[in-house]
Structure 1
Amino acid sequence: MTNRRNFIKSLGLTSAAVIAAPAELLHAAPIINTEKQDLTNITLKGRVHHSGTGISNVAVTDGVNVTLTDKNGNYSLLSNKTAEFVYISVPAGYAFPHEKGITQFYKKVDHNGASFNADFRLEKLETDDRSHKFVVWADPQIISKKDAEILVTQAAPDLCDLVKAHPAGTLFHAIGCGDLVWDHFELISDFKNAVDISGIPFFNLIGNHDMDLDARTDDYSAKTFKANFGPTYYSYNRGNIHYVALDDVFFIGTVKKYIGYLTENQLQWLEQDLAQVKHGSTVVVSLHIPTFTGGQRRNKLAEEEIGGTVSNREQLYKILAPYKVHIMSGHTHMNENWERDNMMEHVHGTVCGAWWTGPICTDGTPEGYAVYEVKGDDITWYYKATRKPKEYQLKIYEKGRLKTSPNAVVANVWNWDSKWKVQWFEDGVLKGDMEQKVDFDPWSLELYEGPQMPKKHKFVEPTLTDHLFFATPSAGAKTIKVVAIDRFGSSYSDQISL
């Protein structure tokens, strides 16, 4: 099962592979900013208001420093002409401004002159936003018009249907968790079309496949992303929750080479941003590359794959220590949840599954997305498989399907975490808890194992996962039922006949 690990490494530092990079980039001269940085002062000023009435204490930033609006909604921030945007942290109680679903919380700075004026007009919500929902779309990662068609005709309508199934006025937003496209920027319009179809505002993150690969350094690798989606790190508020988006994909100046890393600029900005947030509050932090995964443990590696997690994550954790934190990430094309102290990280299964090669991710998680439901300070969640009902939360495999455990029935409970309970019944009789083990999902082996599978992208390989559960039925057993109860008490089940 080394092919996929080698592929993932090639996206970091250990290989020269350039899989899926547009051919014209392989020999292109790097983009070099020929203009010297202009450190001339520029004053950013303006007003944040609702129908002419100023909104006080709104955080405004140039990506370096943060200021607050005064009692009349006015702000003034001394910056310099390296600033690309001035943007706000949309306050609770207000709608997210957007254009066809792409959030518009920023203004591009015009450097002509000693000052730049940017006003932000917000609309008050008619409902209490302490109750709201959001979804996380990880890795749509479209590389062709065929992929884009599936995104637009299947994934986007599925999200649209989910929203419509809720009462009118239910507050929804989405987090596009990076790798919105797969290096082919001509497909950004298709991603935007999918967002528009979904019918809800999207806050988007940059992923390693959303970078300008012909940039000379990381400083210029987000040029195209910024032109389409604005700043790569920012915050916003809804109800009692403070949301933060970060850019943890650090391009090292060679095509397809990057590390998981947070710059000092971002960490200093984050400290200022969180200074406005009461300790003990719930903070949701979204970034593309997971801060941490169990990959090193599962694969018995001597060290972490440097492009697979955030190298300086402990510095982030220190900043987040005073809060109750949920971290949202993608990148791995598998589903995983882990907890530590005040934090829980949700590493999401992907919209594209295994790069649009089959209906499941490499760990057996169905292609899809996560749905989060917020009430006050508390968040609950579930995984929503595309074109499947909410109740579809596990799959049972019959004896013999997994060759390493030929006598066992195997259940994949893809959104499992340590507070779930997974039990099995034989012919209607409760037999107890199933045994959790690290192994490969049987269907993933059938779809993706081997150098010639799958035909579309041969680098895809099954990945080891923690969310498999095992039981050995009696010789004469006729039916096996598995019941999985999540940390919130919701019960899901599946049954097979032997």
Structure 2
Amino acid sequence: MSERITLTRRATMAGAATLAGAAALAPRAARPEDAPAAPAAPAASAAAEVTGIVYEDRSGQGRRGPGDPGLPDVLVSNGREVVRTGPDGRYRLPVSEGAAVFVIKPTGFALPLDADNLPRFATLHQPAGTPPELNLRYPGIAPTGPLPASVDFGLTRRPESPDFEVLLFTDPQPESQAELSFVRDTAVARALGTGAAFGMTTGDVLFDDLSLYGRQNRIIGRIGIPWFHLGGNHDLNLEAPDARHSRETFKRVYGASSYALNHGGVLFLMLDNVHYLGAATGTPARGGRYEGRIGEQQLAFVANVLRETPPDRLVVVAMHIPLVTDLGSDDPALSTLDRAALLGLLAGRPALSVAGHTHTTEHHYLDPAGRRGAEGEGAHHHHVLTAVSGSWWSGPPDRRGIATADSRDGTPHGYHVLSITDGRRYTTRYVPASDDAGRQMRIVLESQFHADDLARLPDTRLADLFGSPIPAESVASTNLVVNLFDGGPRSRVGFRVGSGPLRPMTRVRRPDPFVAALYARNGATRKAWVKAEPCSHLWTARLPPDLGPGTHRVTVEAADEYGRPHRDGLVLEVAEGGA
């Protein structure tokens, strides 16, 4: 197998077991040489107790040395309860079988990283490992054995600015080695040399083939910054009968499936809201059944972390399945059923949440019940991120042989950057991943053709179908259509012809005609389930009816969700008496 499995080395007395597999994701903590052997593993139904020390790793050895002091007031969790370390850095927590114990990185400290820049901050307690009778296709967790006498976490002191950036990837979702190369040569290549503090992938790291984690980690690791991961519905162990063992491979590779960290004074809550319901039925039975649900345990974890966090601290919540989506907020496979409970915990706090899953780009403003369309400062901003894979790597190949991968709402595949200022204010920005998609909007003319007609015109370029020249008699019936790729309900779009007045455009909900035509004309390079979906960031306006024959400059001026200006344009040719 391609994933690297290591053993956590702990100083033990004879008879004490070491932790293996995913348990090795913890920093290599030292157990006192004179500690007694660990007790036998508890029964599956009994809760054990874990204790240890969070320390400053001044020696840089990855294990506590004589000059490495304990760190007080650092949060440690078992995925539900959250405790602070005492003056000596020691903590004590209950821990049940299958739980992860992890340190919540405080501002001003760094986590240990492996060779691929994966943060190592958690230890799994799974004495017997993954049940062999599950017969998982991809390896799960090796037996961790009894709990050590002390499970320790080392941190390195490192100053952090309250002004920083985070790379936000979602749904790279390669289902083959070739598509993993697409991830490498687009989004990862674009991100090289970044000054971001860290990055994250909010689920569907892979597309069911979990053997690709090792290569994926090596590729992402070359960006050169710490990279955190959340699991998506395509990161599940689909042989598991229920949710309990559905993350065995993910946990072996990355550690805890939900966790938290602080950076630059901002709290990041990383939640797994893909609740697995079991294997899919039907023929072919691909994937599993699931619903968007945070669940009682994670909600308790969020409440406990927030209880230890000042109320004016900015909170960023990351998950895979959106809280709501323009594609169907009541569909339990597309939205989060218990979103109101999460929003209730965040009420009164500055907060942003981000998700992926739908392969669309959306901004929503939610009321406390999770309904869309909220106004005012109390509205919660939920951002559905652009997929790295766009339309699941569908579409005609570019000059490099990489799928063009325009998403089903018309947004070219890419990622986002979260910018934090003063540890309190935030913006996000969209970054197209391919060389030929450097703009923030697409402008087309929609005139005499409909999407279902376009497949019958194989010799006509899309650029000609949606461009000019257009006959003078068609001007009054021609729409200017603008897809502002990262637009939303607070964006504004207008256009002007030449030096004429700025004319407002109307936000509409409908498929992007350009991407609908692209899919219609390229069925052989499109995944079978991919089709154009209504876009939440599309603006239209009729061309001025008095626009006469000639060559005209059309300029589109937009303000995005944060009020930032964007401008683009095209040259419009109007033909005298016919094209």
| Stretches of structure 1 lacking an aligned partner (at least 5 in a row) | 1-34, 164-169, 297-302
| Stretches of structure 2 lacking an aligned partner (at least 5 in a row) | 1-41, 59-67, 128-144, 281-287, 367-377, 396-403, 452-475, 573-579
Structure 2 distance, partners of 1:133, 1:402, is 43
Question: Shift of the alpha carbon at 1:153?
Answer: 2.2
**Aligned match of 2:49:** 42
**Aligned match of 2:226:** 201
Structure 1 position 284 matched with structure 2 position 316: yes
Structure 2 distance, partners of 1:497, 1:40, is 70
Name the amino acid aligned to 1:266.
Q
- SS of the aligned residue for 2:344 comes to helix
- SS of the aligned residue for 1:430 comes to coil
The count of corresponding residues between Structure 1 and Structure 2 is: 448
Q: Which segment is superposed worse, 275-284 or 471-480?
A: 471-480
Structure 1 position 324 matched with structure 2 position 331: no
Structure 1 position 84 matched with structure 2 position 129: no
Name the amino acid aligned to 1:463.
E
Superimposed CA distance per residue, residues 122-155 of structure 1 (whole angstroms, 9 cap, x where no aligned partner): 12224x4211100110100010111011112222
- SS of the aligned residue for 2:184 comes to helix
Superimposed CA distance per residue, residues 96-145 of structure 1 (whole angstroms, 9 cap, x where no aligned partner): 4322122211123374446542222212224x421110011010001011
Cα distance, 1:416–1:232 mapped onto 2, change above 3 Å: same
Name the amino acid aligned to 2:254.
F
Query: Contact 1:212–1:221 (CA<8 Å) still a contact in 2?
Result: yes
Structure 1 position 173 matched with structure 2 position 244: no
**Aligned match of 1:305:** 331
User: What pairs up with 1:89-238 in 2 under 5 angstroms?
Assistant: 89-99=104-114, 100-109=116-125, 111=127, 112-113=145-146, 115-126=148-159, 128-161=160-193, 163=194, 170-238=195-263
TM-score relative to the length of structure 2: 0.73
Question: Shift of the alpha carbon at 1:437?
Answer: 1.0
Query: Contact 2:207–2:234 (CA<8 Å) still a contact in 1?
Result: yes
Superimposed CA distance per residue, residues 417-440 of structure 1 (whole angstroms, 9 cap, x where no aligned partner): 233221211123233221111111
Question: Shift of the alpha carbon at 1:172?
Answer: 1.9
User: What pairs up with 1:445-464 in 2 under 5 angstroms?
Assistant: 445-449=516-520, 453-464=523-534
**Aligned match of 1:60:** 76
- SS of the aligned residue for 1:270 comes to helix
Query: Contact 1:45–1:77 (CA<8 Å) still a contact in 2?
Result: no
Cα distance, 1:424–1:215 mapped onto 2, change above 3 Å: same
Give the alignment partner of residue 388 of structure 2, picking from 345, 351, 374: 351
TM-score relative to the length of structure 1: 0.85
Structure 1 distance, partners of 2:335, 2:564, is 31
**Aligned match of 1:496:** 570
**Aligned match of 1:379:** 426
Q: Which segment is superposed worse, 338-347 or 86-95?
A: 338-347
**Aligned match of 2:556:** 482
Structure 2 distance, partners of 1:220, 1:361, is 32
Question: Shift of the alpha carbon at 1:59?
Answer: 0.7
Question: Shift of the alpha carbon at 1:221?
Answer: 0.3
Cα distance, 1:314–1:367 mapped onto 2, change above 3 Å: same
Structure 1 distance, partners of 2:228, 2:118, is 7
**Aligned match of 1:338:** 364
Cα distance, 1:83–1:459 mapped onto 2, change above 3 Å: closer
Structure 1 position 392 matched with structure 2 position 399: no
- SS of the aligned residue for 1:361 comes to coil
Give the alignment partner of residue 265 of structure 1, picking from 291, 294, 297: 297
Question: Shift of the alpha carbon at 1:279?
Answer: 1.4
- The two structures, once aligned, show a CA RMSD in angstroms of 2.3
Q: Which segment is superposed worse, 211-220 or 275-284?
A: 275-284
Structure 1 distance, partners of 2:488, 2:435, is 21
Q: Which segment is superposed worse, 400-409 or 410-419?
A: 400-409
Question: Shift of the alpha carbon at 1:329?
Answer: 0.1
Query: Contact 2:359–2:407 (CA<8 Å) still a contact in 1?
Result: yes
Higher relative contact order (CA 8 A, sep 6+): 1
Superimposed CA distance per residue, residues 349-373 of structure 1 (whole angstroms, 9 cap, x where no aligned partner): 1000100013311001110001111
Cα distance, 1:230–1:402 mapped onto 2, change above 3 Å: farther
Structure 1 distance, partners of 2:513, 2:448, is 6
Structure 1 distance, partners of 2:363, 2:498, is 32
Percent identity, aligned pairs only, is: 24
Superimposed CA distance per residue, residues 182-206 of structure 1 (whole angstroms, 9 cap, x where no aligned partner): 0001111232122112211111111
Cα distance, 1:280–1:217 mapped onto 2, change above 3 Å: same
Q: Which segment is superposed worse, 400-409 or 206-215?
A: 400-409
Superimposed CA distance per residue, residues 210-269 of structure 1 (whole angstroms, 9 cap, x where no aligned partner): 000000111110001101111111100011210001111111112321111122111111
Query: Contact 2:200–2:227 (CA<8 Å) still a contact in 1?
Result: yes
Query: Contact 2:112–2:121 (CA<8 Å) still a contact in 1?
Result: yes
User: What pairs up with 1:432-447 in 2 under 5 angstroms?
Assistant: 432-447=503-518
Please say which structure displays the higher CA radius of gyration: 2
Structure 2 distance, partners of 1:114, 1:316, is 33
Structure 1 distance, partners of 2:562, 2:186, is 29
**Aligned match of 1:9:** none
**Aligned match of 2:130:** none
Question: Shift of the alpha carbon at 1:487?
Answer: 4.1
Query: Contact 1:324–1:342 (CA<8 Å) still a contact in 2?
Result: no
**Aligned match of 1:248:** 273
Structure 1 position 366 matched with structure 2 position 412: yes
Name the amino acid aligned to 2:425.
D
